[in-house]
Structure 1
Amino acid sequence: MQEVNGAAADGFSAPCRGAGCTAREAAGRGKQHRRPAQAPALLCAVCRARLGLELMRLPDLYEECALALGASGPRREKVSGGPLPGMPFNATAADVRAAVMGVLGAWAALVVQERGAPAPRRDAAALSRFLLQHVGWLAAHSAAGEFSEEIARVVRRARRVIDPDAARQVAVGGCVEPGCTGSLTAAVRARAPHEPAEITCDADPAHHWLGHQWLQLSRRVRPGAGGAQEARWISAADIARLWAMAPGSVYRHASQSQWRRRTRAGRTYYYEGDVQRSLEGRKAGAASAAS
């Protein structure tokens, strides 16, 4: 098989190496959850589109982090530029700004070295524009997966600085809408456990549900290899957030209904089928009491 810049050149559809598909694989525990990338690209259409959007957003995130330099967060004294000595200084915001410039600068240098392109100015906006101009070439580079992962990671870090209460992303699975190749992600806020989570598709924002519909959706999530529906295990914290329940109620239901459980890395997860039956029974009982 011939390769062009590290990518297959015979039209072979290899599994996508993008950040989104990496998360799909981690959630599904298998490479079958990665979307196909049509050669010579090593990223699927969804991951490439996401990469472009994140590159477009990075300059604004970089500037917003500048506004957070004097905000609350890990603090230290800064004596050269910025706040006066002894004034609050958000070290996390400064570290993230340095990381943004480091990531953009490193990948721009790769393009300059391997393509002979003129070097852009060293500022976030110019570097992002430069990488967007070469994003097609980068998507077919042997390091496309690393590029996608590093951009996604620094975007997440910047968003956490700007909004420390930003929603945590919980992978749900493949989109349940017919013909859609996207992935579903539930956004839950640690500081607002009683607000319903939102479940969205990374390929089509019109595919959108509220958190309390999660377990119902899981019946429709695409099955794994061989057509068998994969067992799903959910943490108590995610059950509480997705269903707007007090954590104590989750543990009470788990004990009373004898949910099956397993432990990974010191955390307890409950079997989705048991959770679903209990919570649907709870909802039906509440409806009967109200009638």
Structure 2
Amino acid sequence: MTQGTIRMPVATTACAGAACVRRESGGLARRLAAPGTRLCPACHEHLVRDLRRLPELYEECARHLDGAGGERSVEKTSGGPLPGMPFNCRAADTRSAILGVLGSWAGLVLEEFGLTGPRRAVAPLARFLIRHSHWLAGHEAAGEVSAEVARLVRRAHGVIDPATDRRVPVGDCVEPGCSGDLTAVVRPRQPRLPAAITCTENPAHRWAGPEWLQLSRRLNATSATDSSSPEERWVTAADIARLWSVPPGSVYRHASTAKWRRRSESGRTYYHAADVHESLKHRAA
């Protein structure tokens, strides 16, 4: 037997980056994440590139605030430089989203390292996140930050184009005897509004996004009649962000501060729905 170093198998993980997720949706396999991270080198570079682009895109959106955005322009009769001057609400909302998202992720880094934060402006925040991009790539939220920054870039590029609502499947309708499916309707034109959950069979079966956790409890109560104990509900950070209209960075801060119960499955992190509801129930009010 040859003496030598015993080589242990190296664990490999599929990349959670936005570009690899799109590859998978197109029928291609995701690339492997770099050791110790959740992003492949290409998706890491894509994240850094998008962060570099956001300050310029933020300023470009400002040039559309005067109504050059077309269909999303409205007549603004107060608060503007001139009465009746057209105002592009979508451009303003996109700028607000860029600043808010970068600030949220920067807050996650600051909480981890106890650093002094950069000035709350897009360019300094983007530079700060680029400096800490390797840490973000190794964080459990690497996929979320990659996806959210990529969405900001797409949203800024499409600021002059009409946006359409997106529908996200949620599950079976909870109303007794209803065979419909529940769908969360996400409105890009109104990013501050929580998703609206509607039933495909009966439009009267309708809930706001934050009520999804209560709907889950109703499903649990129904299943409890057929089993010894109700099924626990677990949700991803992306689900929480979408349904409660909370930036993903804030989701992870809540999870850390409130010590939400968590579990990992197939490389994804899930949080206990009851803990999420307890922390965020005030937002529904």
Q: Which runs of 5 or more structure 2 residues have no equivalent in the other structure? A: 1-8, 163-285
How many angstroms does 1:89 deviate by? 0.6
1:68 aligned to 2:67?
Answer: no
Q: Which among 48, 52, 62 is matched to residue 56 of structure 1?
A: 52
Aligned partners of 1:11 and 1:38 also within 8 Å? no
Q: Distance in 1 between matches of 2:80 and 2:10?
A: 52
Q: Which position in structure 2 is the counterpart of 1:24? A: 23
Aligned letter for 1:119?
G
Q: Which runs of 5 or more structure 1 residues have no equivalent in the other structure? A: 1-9, 166-291
Q: Which position in structure 1 is the counterpart of 2:158? A: 160
| TM-score (structure 2 length as normaliser) | 0.51
Q: Distance in 1 between matches of 2:77 and 2:139?
A: 42
Relative to structure 1, the CA distance from residue 79 to residue 114 in structure 2 (aligned partners, 3 Å threshold; closer, same or farther) is: farther
Aligned partners of 2:77 and 2:85 also within 8 Å? no
Deviations 1:144-168 (A, max 9, x none): 0000000000110001126x49xxx
1:140 aligned to 2:159?
Answer: no
How many angstroms does 1:27 deviate by? 1.2
How many angstroms does 1:99 deviate by? 0.8
Q: Secondary structure at the match of 1:73?
A: helix
Q: Secondary structure at the match of 2:37?
A: coil
Q: Which position in structure 2 is the counterpart of 1:278? A: none
Q: Distance in 1 between matches of 2:78 and 2:131?
A: 35
Aligned partners of 1:83 and 1:89 also within 8 Å? no
Q: Distance in 1 between matches of 2:134 and 2:150?
A: 17
Q: Secondary structure at the match of 1:153?
A: helix
Aligned letter for 1:152?
A
Mapping for residues 174-185 of structure 1, pairs under 5 Å: none
How many aligned residue pairs are there?
152
Aligned letter for 2:154?
R
Q: Distance in 2 between matches of 1:140 and 1:75?
A: 41
Mapping for residues 10-159 of structure 1, pairs under 5 Å: 11-28=10-27, 33-70=29-66, 71=68, 72-78=70-76, 81-159=79-157
Mapping for residues 239-278 of structure 1, pairs under 5 Å: none
Q: Secondary structure at the match of 1:16?
A: coil
Relative to structure 1, the CA distance from residue 131 to residue 93 in structure 2 (aligned partners, 3 Å threshold; closer, same or farther) is: same
| TM-score (structure 1 length as normaliser) | 0.50
Aligned partners of 1:105 and 1:122 also within 8 Å? yes
Q: Secondary structure at the match of 2:33?
A: strand
Stretch deviating more after TM superposition (64-73 or 43-52): 64-73
- Identity over the aligned pairs, expressed in percent? 53
Aligned letter for 2:59?
E
Q: Secondary structure at the match of 2:26?
A: helix
Relative to structure 1, the CA distance from residue 133 to residue 159 in structure 2 (aligned partners, 3 Å threshold; closer, same or farther) is: same
Q: Which position in structure 2 is the counterpart of 1:207? A: none
How many angstroms does 1:111 deviate by? 0.5
Relative to structure 1, the CA distance from residue 81 to residue 66 in structure 2 (aligned partners, 3 Å threshold; closer, same or farther) is: farther
How many angstroms does 1:48 deviate by? 0.5
Q: Which position in structure 2 is the counterpart of 1:227? A: none
Relative to structure 1, the CA distance from residue 80 to residue 117 in structure 2 (aligned partners, 3 Å threshold; closer, same or farther) is: farther
Q: Distance in 1 between matches of 2:77 and 2:133?
A: 39
How many angstroms does 1:34 deviate by? 0.4
Q: Distance in 2 between matches of 1:81 and 1:55?
A: 31
Q: Secondary structure at the match of 2:74?
A: coil
Q: Distance in 2 between matches of 1:56 and 1:82?
A: 30
Relative to structure 1, the CA distance from residue 12 to residue 38 in structure 2 (aligned partners, 3 Å threshold; closer, same or farther) is: farther
Aligned partners of 1:73 and 1:91 also within 8 Å? no
Relative to structure 1, the CA distance from residue 106 to residue 80 in structure 2 (aligned partners, 3 Å threshold; closer, same or farther) is: farther
Q: Distance in 2 between matches of 1:135 and 1:24?
A: 22
How many angstroms does 1:83 deviate by? 4.2
Relative to structure 1, the CA distance from residue 109 to residue 78 in structure 2 (aligned partners, 3 Å threshold; closer, same or farther) is: farther
Q: Distance in 2 between matches of 1:119 and 1:62?
A: 20
Deviations 1:221-254 (A, max 9, x none): xxxxxxxxxxxxxxxxxxxxxxxxxxxxxxxxxx
Q: Distance in 2 between matches of 1:100 and 1:120?
A: 15
Aligned partners of 1:41 and 1:140 also within 8 Å? yes
Q: Distance in 2 between matches of 1:88 and 1:80?
A: 11
Q: Secondary structure at the match of 2:73?
A: coil
Relative to structure 1, the CA distance from residue 129 to residue 82 in structure 2 (aligned partners, 3 Å threshold; closer, same or farther) is: farther
Aligned partners of 2:17 and 2:143 also within 8 Å? yes
How many angstroms does 1:80 deviate by? 5.9
Q: Which position in structure 1 is the counterpart of 2:213? A: none
